Every structure is written in structure tokens, then in C-alpha cells.
Amino acid sequence: MADYLGSVPERLARNVYETDEEQSHIEVNQEIARATGTGKLIVQVCPAHVYAEEPDGTISVEYAACLECGACRAVAAPGALTWHNPRGGMGIAFREG
């Protein structure tokens, strides 16, 4: 049941994204991600479905949808994932109301 602010999808739809078209703020080291199981973990943990496992086993990244929650960073093995904040003014702006 939605509260007075609306359902989760409705609330997420209020957010504004300023996508950095030139530079991703996320990079996956495919070799380390595969060897450590990080690839499967980040696909499972990301609430925005930024990551997907391709048929060849590589992990694709749709960084424009990132909510900047940090969950992928928490589960990634060292060296498997490079994540930094989007460049100034880029990324998500949360709108609560």
C-alpha cells in the first residue's frame, strides 16, 4: 500500500538524473569480478539494475541509472570494482516531495 508520498516506483520516478555522457563513474575489472564472484553479487545487490551478466559472463554497466547507494561497493572484492562519485553536478538528485 502506498503512503502519502506514493509507491516506491512513484517516488523513484521523482528523482532527477544528470548523466555524464563522457565518463562512467563505475568500472568493473572483469577478470577479478569473475574470479571472486563479485560479478554475480553486484548484479544481485544493485537496486537499480545497473549491472547485468551477459551471455559470455562479462558484467555490463548501465551507470546512468545508479542511485549512488554504495551497495555494490560493500560487496565487491578488492580490485573488482572501481566506483567514484560522478563528476560535479552529475549523477542523481533525490526528490522526496
Q: In 1-97, at which residue ranges do the beta strands (DSSP E only) sit?
A: 16-18, 26-28, 51-53, 59-61, 81-83, 91-93
| CB-based contact 59:51 (threshold 8 Å) | yes
Query: Smallest distance, Å, CB 86 to ligand SF4?
Result: 10
Query: CB-wise, 17 or 34, nearer to ligand SF4?
Result: 17
How far CA 37 is from CA of 15, 29, 55, 58, in Å, comes to 31, 12, 16, 12
Task: Report the site for ligand SF4 in 32-61 (rule: CB under 6 A).
Answer: 45-48, 50
Query: Smallest distance, Å, CB 4 to ligand SF4?
Result: 25
How many residues bind ligand SF4, per CB under 6 A?
Answer: 13
At 24, the amino acid letter reads: S
Query: CB-wise, 7 or 82, nearer to ligand SF4?
Result: 82
By CB under 6 A, name the binding residues for ligand SF4.
Answer: 26, 45-48, 50, 66-72
